Chains A and B, each alone.
Chain A
Amino acid sequence: MKLPPFEYAAPATLKEAVALLASHGGEAKPLAGGQSLMPMMAFRIAQPSLLVDLRKLPDLKSIAIDKDGVRLGAMVRWRDIQDDKRLAQAHPLLQAAIAHVAHYQIRNRGTVGGSVCHADPAAEMPGIALTCDAEMTVMGKGGQRVIKAADFFLGALTTALQPDEILIEVKLPAWPAGRRFGFQEFARRRGDFAMAGIAVFYDPDAGGTASNAHVGVIGVGEKQRRLGKAEAAINGSTLDEAAIAKASAAASAEVEPQDDIHASAAYRRALTGTLLERALKSAAG
């Protein structure tokens, strides 16, 4: 399972990187942590003609936190997120989700940008980006543009990124102090891709009535997605037993799972509801 042949460059500037990508007519790929791309190349599912290694690019490795939210450089690694004590306040949902990503060694190299651009339907980071209305800043030949998460993820392993564009930053909107959240996923083994995962948050008012509910699901169906009907069931409720049951039933009804080698569609449908129920209970608790 040796890698197919390719050219390799590790440019020092974004501009060079973009130019290199453009020069290979869609056959070049950026290389971030390589923890998804390298296995695909080992199986020869991906055979890029050029890898543009982003490791030397400046300014992609920082986590910036201010009143507008959390800005994750594309080369921020999973362990950087786990180790950043500020995030416990600034974005606890992100940390809760990233705790489920892969294994120790992978977390030392796997990156936010790599995961978002790989867009695996079962991966945590794309799910969080979508659930949290993240904005992706990308750089192409024509300069920078910002793509909303809702427009970014197009399907399994498919994004709105152009072949000559590089994701440079993922911005998660600010996390208000009173926000409630939950993250639940279930995988066959620790670190495996989720059979289903749920990220949820909402903003309760003084009386505990929820608004601004966001529910995202991963690992079920063709892509990570928001569950609008479940969100509607949460908004305006006080998250009592009945409301939680209603929301999780809505979530189960809303997903479009398929049978695969790990689980039946019916199981994944039920699991989605169970995980939302548990996520909401942990959010309320």
Chain B
Amino acid sequence: MTTKFEVNGKQVEVDVEPRLTLADCLRQNLRLTGTHIGCEHGVCGACTVLVNGDAVRSCLMLAVQADGAKVVTVEGLSNDADLTPLQKSFRKHHALQCGFCTPGFITTAHALLTEEPDCDADRVREVLSGNICRCTGYISIVEAVLDARSAYKKDGAR
């Protein structure tokens, strides 16, 4: 089936089997390999992307369901020139080790901070509980997200 949607600001058109998940479509068809697949049953959060601004698990969504949607992946939240404030905060707090779960945390944290730049530590933990990290023990990730709040408070820009 042909499906058209926007990824990181660019229109794409792909011809896919209905059974292809959005996660696989991003990785295989669009070669956006920053979105990682860690469980394929909606538990680990490594595949989190933004669909029309909402953080969703791209392994629990079909590519054909993205038709007409705006999809943003970790690549879309990055630029080559510099790390974003959220990424800088992750680096400063050593909120990543092996890096495999990291894209899912970045997308999830970005969605949270965009909507709730005043969130407290409990809310950060509650939201991040849908993402599994096996390396850090989460303490540093929570610190990084809290520390990045200030960057989201003014005019909603990253």
* Chain A residues at the B interface, C-beta cutoff of 8 Å: 1-8, 10, 31, 34-35, 38-39, 42-43, 51, 53, 55, 79, 102-106, 108-109, 189-191
Contact between chains at B130 and A106 (CB < 8 Å): yes
CB-CB < 8 A to B35: which residues of A? none
| Contact across chains for B48 and A105 when beta carbons are under 8 A apart | yes
The answer to whether A109 touches B61 (Cβ under 8 A) is yes
List the A residue with the shortest CB-CB distance to B104: A105
Which listed residue, A103, A108, A191, touches B54 by the CB 8 Å rule? A108
How far in angstroms is the closest Cβ of chain A from B132?
A: 10
Pick the contact of B65: A3, A53, A189, A190 (CB < 8 A): A53
Q: Determine if B56 and A105 form an interchain contact, defined as CB atoms under 8 angstroms apart.
A: yes
Give 15 new A-B contacts, CB below 8 A, not counting A53-B65, A109-B54, A190-B129.
Answer: A5-B17, A8-B1, A38-B21, A38-B61, A39-B41, A42-B41, A42-B59, A43-B41, A53-B64, A55-B65, A105-B45, A106-B57, A106-B60, A108-B54, A189-B129
Q: Is B143 close to A, CB under 8 A?
A: no
A-B contact pairs, 20 of them (CB 8 A): A2-B21, A2-B40, A8-B18, A10-B64, A31-B65, A35-B60, A55-B65, A79-B54, A103-B127, A104-B55, A104-B126, A104-B127, A104-B129, A105-B108, A106-B42, A106-B57, A106-B130, A108-B54, A108-B55, A191-B129
Contacting residue for B61 out of A34, A39, A79, A103, CB 8 A: A34
Nearest Cβ distance between residue A1 and chain B, in whole angstroms? 4
For B24, list chain A residues within 8 Å (CB).
2
With a cutoff of 8 Å between Cβ atoms, the chain A residues found around residue B56 in the complex are 105, 108-109
Query: Which chain B residues numbered 74 to 130 have a C-beta less than 8 Å away from chain A?
Result: 108, 111-112, 126-130
Tell me the bound Cα distance from A104 to B104 in angstroms: 12
Within B17-49, the residues touching A (CB, 8 Å) are 17-19, 21, 24, 40-42, 45, 48
Instruction: Decide: A39 and B129 in contact? CB cutoff 8 A.
Output: no
Residue of A nearest to B57 (CB): A105
Q: How far is the CA of A35 from the CA of B65 in the complex (A)?
A: 13
* B19 A6 Cβ-Cβ under 8 A: yes
Which B residues lie within 8 Å of A190 (CB)?
126, 129
Bound form: Cα–Cα A95–B141 in Å: 29
Chain B's closest residue to A102 (CB) is B130
Top 8 A-B residue pairs of the complex, sorted by shortest distance between their CB atoms: A103-B130, A8-B18, A1-B40, A39-B41, A108-B54, A3-B19, A38-B60, A104-B127
Contact B60 A39 (CB under 8 A): yes
Nearest residue (CB) in B for A35 is B60
Q: A14: shortest Cβ distance to chain B, in Å? A: 18
List chain A residues, Cβ under 8 A from B21. 2-3, 38
Q: Are B127 and A109 in contact (CB under 8 A)?
A: no
CA A39 to CA B43, docked complex, whole Å? 9
- B151 close to chain A: CB less than 8 A: no
B62 in the interface, Cβ–Cβ < 8 Å? yes
CB contacts (< 8 Å) of A103 on chain B: these are: 45, 127, 129-130
Q: Could you tell me if B126 and A39 are in contact, using CB atoms closer than 8 angstroms?
A: no
Task: Provide the bound-state CA to CA distance between A7 and B17, in Å.
Answer: 9
- The residue in chain B whose Cβ has the minimal distance to the Cβ of A190 is B129
Q: Closest residue to A8 on the B side, CB-wise?
A: B18
CA distance A8 to B54 in the complex (A): 23
Asked whether B59 lies within 8 Å of A38 as measured between CB atoms, the reply is yes
Q: In the complex, what distance in Å separates the CA atom of A106 from the CA atom of B40? A: 13
